[in-house]
Amino acid sequence: MGRICRLAQPTEMSPTKRRKKISVLALVRKKQEKKKDKNVEQSTTKFHSPLTVEAVGPKSEANAGSSQTRSMRGEEEDENRKMNTWNCSALNEFIFLGITDNTDIKVTLFTAFLLVYLFDLLANLGMVILIVVDPHLHTPMYFFLSHLSFCDLCYSTAIGPKMLVDLVAQKKSIPFLGCALQFLTFCVFADSECLLLAVMAFDRYKAISSPLLYTAHMSSRLCSLLVAGVYLVGLTDALIHTTLAFRLCFCGSNEINHFFCDLPPLYLLSCSDIEVNELALFTVFGFIELSTISGVLVSYFYIILSVMKIHSAEGRFKAFSTCTSHLTAVSVFQGTMLFMYFRPSSSYSLDQDKMTSLFYTLVIPMLNPLIYSLRNKDVKEAVKKLRSKTCL
């Protein structure tokens, strides 16, 4: 047992043998690490490098092709923009095609439209002068009526004289800035008239619901503020539409198939995107129309409630008779505007557009003085007084 124990015990090693053994182990470890590094490099070259080469090659070719197509498209877009900007800068005037090409009826149309425009001018100007001169007409209702006549006078004058000249002229041209100014003037006073009709409906409600406190409620300061707000909104809307319309590029023909500068025929000439213009037309001008119609409807709803409280039949008839003229003016003007600018594009016709434009640019300014004067005793008496003064 003692021998066996001696054999199992570890023998002591000399220091030189220990050093040799340690050096051999270190060499073996270094060789193993080198083999591992080689295997890793081979695996990366086998599996990664071909894939990367194959992947990078087509991508680089695709990127090169896409960059070439992008550069080609960019050059084409730049050329188109240059052509459009050149055409925009070269356009100095528009040419109206007018109401008709038939030379046989031009003289007849000129005579008829001249008489209508002269009646518009004299009737609306006379209404303004009559209301200013006669102190009995210095009430809120006639104050608003004078501004209604002023709006009719302004936008009919912006279109009428030029239309009459073009009926007999050979060249029916208008400068680019002149076209913008004509549309701006028309839009300012047409929008103002829309809102003014709503203000006049509110004035009618105050006059019928509380006649004793009418002058106190509708003070001169309030009336002036309402009219100033009407013109401010009309000017803002007109500036928006004019700026958007005349920033478009008209790179084709400069012939407008109309007798004045209006949005639909200008949009037909444009080679630019008009989505923003159409959106502005339906939002801004649509808001004005909606405000006017809703204001008139709400006012007349309360007017009907107030009239129903009147016990005498004569009083009811008198109250309703003061509103019929205003309702007639609202129905004619608003109906024409809605038909003109808010009908579907599928039913749009240039000839129909011309007839509608003639109606609201010349006929409506003629109808308003007739509507408000024929059935108005105060206006008739003021006209008689003015005649007697002039005769004396």
Other CB atoms within a 10 A radius of the CB of residue 227 amount to 19
Q: How far apart are alpha carbons 82 and 85 in whole angstroms?
A: 5
Q: Assign domain 95-391 to its CATH superfamily.
A: Rhodopsin 7-helix transmembrane proteins (1.20.1070.10)
Q: Which of 104, 131, 122, 130 shows the shortest CA–CA distance to 160?
A: 122
Enter the DSSP assignment of 11: P
Res 75 pLDDT > 90: no
Enter the DSSP assignment of 321: H
Other CB atoms within a 10 A radius of the CB of residue 307 amount to 18
Res 103 pLDDT > 70: yes
pLDDT at residue 35, as a whole number: 56
Res 73 pLDDT > 60: no
Enter the DSSP assignment of 309: T
Name residue 261's amino acid: C
Q: Which residues contact 232 (CB under 8 A, 6 or more apart)?
A: none
* pTM of the entire predicted model: 0.74
**Do 263 and 357 form a contact (C-beta atoms < 8 A)?**
no
Sheet containing strand 93-96, strands side by side = 173-175, 93-96, 255-256
Could you tell me the pLDDT band of residue 30, with boundaries at 50, 70 and 90? low
Cα atoms in the Cβ-side hemisphere of radius 13 Å centred on 223: 21
If you average pLDDT over residues 70-94, what whole number do you get? 57
Higher-scoring residue by pLDDT: 245, 314? 245
Lowest mean pLDDT among 14-28, 52-66, 99-113, 259-273: 52-66
Q: How far apart are alpha carbons 80 and 82 in whole angstroms?
A: 5
DSSP codes joined into one string, 166-228: HHH-S--EEEHHHHHHHHHHHHHHHHHHHHHHHHHHHHHHHHHH-STTHHHHS-HHHHHHHHH
Q: Could you tell me what percent of the chain has a pLDDT over 90?
A: 35
Q: Which residues contact 242 (CB under 8 A, 6 or more apart)?
A: 180, 183, 184, 187
pLDDT at residue 23, as a whole number: 54
Residue 301, token pair as written in the block: 């709803």
Higher-scoring residue by pLDDT: 22, 183? 183
Res 52 pLDDT > 60: no
Residue 119's Cα: distance from chain center in Å?
A: 32
